[in-house]
Amino acid sequence: MSQPGGTQGTVLIIEDDRNTAALVATYLEREGFGTVVVHDGGEALRAADGCAPVFVILDVMLPNVDGWEICRSLRKVSDVPVLMLTAREEEVDRVAGLAMGADDYVIKPFSPRELVERVKAILRRSRARSVPPSPVISSGGLELDQVKHTVTRDGAPVSLTLSEYKLLQALMGAPGKAFSREELLDHCYRNGEVVIDRVIDVHIGKLRQKIGDDTTRPRFIQTVRGYGYRFSDAPGEVGE
């Protein structure tokens, strides 16, 4: 079963259980991904060469060549994100998979909806890392230097925590774009930390204070009700 292409790119599903593979493919295709499915470890690398996937979902226990070996081989030639599936719950297996270069590890049985959300989150982080940043972003007297990792307001240094800096970096890098809290969490916490989305509200409050943004009539960081935040593309104007 294959349906390559898709507006979000192709996901290669390497899974010997045909029902599981078909279910995962269905959920991915609903989200705009194309899918290519193989059920045999021996076919996996050939399929990866042929379909140029943006993501790989890889079962550990496969006929002929197991998932560990496939992951090792993929990492020699590609940095495509890999999520490994397994029925084994032992911590040593999870650690081994991540050490081989897997980006995430999911234990069966799993929710296909949650699996797809993990795929999307990993892809967002991967794509964000692949875009070379402009050295300096400035707007309305606020300046963020992505090489020196410094922030100034009207020439005066602003002391930020790492999370606050990453948050401001994401917002200033796309003025006018509305970011969901989930997207901002992905940007601030890329190492798998478990945090609730409302922690972003706390960071925003402190960030607004530090950059001198009026919390009742902010010039820079504006609230998008029921969704998240955006950086004003016209910082001379006030917003929510």
Token pair belonging to 28: 């991915």
Task: Report if residue 239 sits inside a domain.
Answer: no
| The pLDDT value given to residue 145 | 93
Together in a domain, 12 and 83: yes
CATH number at residue 67: 3.40.50.2300
Task: Report if residue 237 sits inside a domain.
Answer: no
Together in a domain, 195 and 141: yes
Helices 67-77 and 91-99, packing angle to 10 deg? 20
Q: What is the pLDDT of residues 11-64, one digit of tens each?
A: 999 999 999 999 999 999 999 999 999 998 888 888 888 888 999 999 988 888
Cβ contact 51:30 at 8 Å = no
Q: What is the pLDDT of residues 57-98, one digit of tens each?
A: 999 888 888 888 899 888 888 889 999 998 776 666 666 666
Q: What is the pLDDT of residues 131-154, one digit of tens each?
A: 555 789 999 899 999 888 999 999
Together in a domain, 111 and 151: no
Domain range enclosing 31: 2-130
CB hemisphere CA count around 104 (13 angstroms): 23
Q: Which amino acid is at 131?
A: V
Together in a domain, 140 and 123: no
Under the banding of pLDDT at 50, 70 and 90, the label for residue 237 is very low
Task: Report if residue 63 sits inside a domain.
Answer: yes
Domain termination residue (choose one: 97, 130, 163): 130
CATH number at residue 165: 1.10.10.10
- Only one residue has tokens 């076919």, namely 43
Domain termination residue (choose one: 61, 95, 130): 130
User: pTM to 2 decimals?
Assistant: 0.55
Q: How far is CA 121 from CA 117, 211, 239, in A?
A: 6, 29, 29
Domain termination residue (choose one: 130, 152, 183): 130
Together in a domain, 43 and 112: yes
| The pLDDT value given to residue 239 | 46
